[in-house]
Amino acid sequence: MKCAVIGAGIIGVATAREVQRQLPGAEVTIIDKEGGPAAHQTGHNSGVVHAGLYYQPGSLKATLCRRGVDLLTEYATSRGLPFEECGKLVVSLSEEEDERLRAIAEKAIANKVPDVELIGPEGIRAIEPNATGRLALHSPHTGIIDYAAVTRALLEDVRQAGGRTLFGAAVTNLINNDNGCAVELDGGREGQRPETFDLVIVCAGLHSDRLARMAGAPKYPVIVPFFGQYSQLAPEHRDILRGLVYPVPDPAYPFLGVHLTKRVDGEMLVGPNAFLSFGRENYRGWALSPRDSLGIAMEPGFWRFAAQNMRAAQRELGAVLSRRAFLAGAEAYVPSLHGAASTPITRGIRAQAMNADGSLVDDFVIHHVGRAVLLRNAPSPGATSSLAIAEHLVARTREMFEGQGR
């Protein structure tokens, strides 16, 4: 069997490896338009290994995050990759947030997140002496990792097992037919004729909707990009926390909010905010991508979403325009950060799937069209869940081939 995996982020590379593991004899090719792996979401995130606190029990996010944590921890340990189980506090600052935090605790327990516990102000100070709050949910097994390093290790596994890689190869069309799925690349790569595969698995992140449409899938969900800006605290603040400190998510805006995150290299980050990006790959500033910006402007669902989230968007815009306002959000949880120096670093961009009515898709989404399996939505905790998502995608693949008598 010939299989192509489109996308060399952590999920795509993990999926290619899983095909080799679960379908012996498969000829696997990874295709990516960039010059190497982990060029987009995988290489532009905070590196948190999520424990599964927030997700609806029974959802793919909840199930695959919990499975993914175990697989990722085992893999990182076996390969000697940087990993630290530093722990996390989700901190409430008001009575209203207390109630929301208790609801998160109930989800965490339902998701069988180990050793989670609600603690008061004294418990907060015992775990994080520089943090403050009314109530906190402690997740001692939340960790941090270098996802780009994990992806490179997975890619090495794929290559050692005989897998092929085509980097610098943008997919321009996917053609489902009776013989398989043909992949057409730019510049006439691999000859002038598209190469046909028995199976194509698309893990294209920021461009997943466009490749899905090529394969004949429905338009929705579409991808709307949101950027998240991080700042790196000055060296004297590297040890201000032992682990991670998060706010209670605002239900009026579907992101986790500005938090403090330790990285495996010892640096301490503040971020991210969340605001509309005018380019799917605009990591450094306000430059417009005409194609991406026009796509957003022409999407009725986006305007419905914007109308419903105007107040939260105004707050986020203030943090985008002012680093002082940006850091003030973190000071509420760690007061000794007042006046701290920080340096902006390359932002991340979240590939967020949106429905036609403007609602954001909350769970992972997988579509199957002809010989193509399409991962349509895999935001956070996508990286944490990557090895489990790979298992799930390959299981869907095996069902498809068994149903076709292959």
Among the residue ranges 18-27, 162-171, 187-196, 303-312, the one predicted with the least confidence is 187-196
Among the residue ranges 61-65, 200-204, 246-250, 399-403, the one predicted with the least confidence is 399-403
Q: How far apart are CA 308 and CA 313, in angstroms?
A: 10
**Of all residues in the chain, what percent carry a pLDDT higher than 70?**
92
pLDDT at 153 over 70: yes
- In this prediction, residue 303 carries a pLDDT of 86
Structure tokens at 397: 């693949």
Full strand arrangement of the beta sheet holding 195-197? 171-177, 180-185, 195-197
Residues 127-146 have pLDDT tens digits of: 999 999 999 999 999 999 99
Choosing among 3.30.9, 3.40.720, 3.30.160, 3.40.50, the CATH entry for 223-359 is 3.30.9
Q: Which of 43, 137, 142 is nearest to 84 (CA)?
A: 142
pLDDT at 299 over 70: yes
Backbone dihedral angles phi then psi of residue 136, each to the nearest 5 degrees: -145, 150
pLDDT at 40 over 60: yes
Q: Tell me how far CA of residue 397 lies from CA of 16, 175, 275, in angstroms.
A: 12, 18, 36
Q: Which residue has the higher pLDDT, 31 or 309?
A: 31
Q: How far apart are CA 394 and CA 12, in angstroms?
A: 11
The counts of H helices and E strands in the chain are 11, 21
pTM: 0.94
Q: How many Cα atoms within 13 Å fall on the side-chain side of residue 118?
A: 16
pLDDT at 98 over 70: yes
Residues 105-125 have pLDDT tens digits of: 999 999 999 999 999 999 999
- In this prediction, residue 308 carries a pLDDT of 77
Residues 342-393 have pLDDT tens digits of: 998 888 999 999 999 999 999 999 999 999 999 999 999 999 999 999 999 9
Look up the CATH architecture of domain 2-43+148-221+362-403: 3-Layer(bba) Sandwich (3.50)
Q: How far apart are CA 9 and CA 41, in angstroms?
A: 7
- In this prediction, residue 322 carries a pLDDT of 61
Report yes or no: 255 and 226 within 8 Å, Cβ to Cβ.
Answer: yes
Domains of the chain by residue range: 2-43+148-221+362-403, 88-140, 223-359
- In this prediction, residue 271 carries a pLDDT of 86
Q: How far apart are CA 289 and CA 272, in angstroms?
A: 22
Q: Which SS3 state, helix, strand or coil, does residue 346 take?
A: strand
Q: Which of 244, 261, 252, 270 is nearest to 90 (CA)?
A: 244
Report yes or no: 242 and 127 within 8 Å, Cβ to Cβ.
Answer: yes
By CB neighbour count within 10 A (0-12 exposed, 13-18 middle, 19+ buried), where does 362 fall?
middle
pLDDT at 318 over 80: no
The per-residue pLDDT of the chain, averaged, comes to 91
Structure tokens at 343: 């340096």
- In this prediction, residue 156 carries a pLDDT of 98
Q: Which SS3 state, helix, strand or coil, does residue 84 take?
A: strand
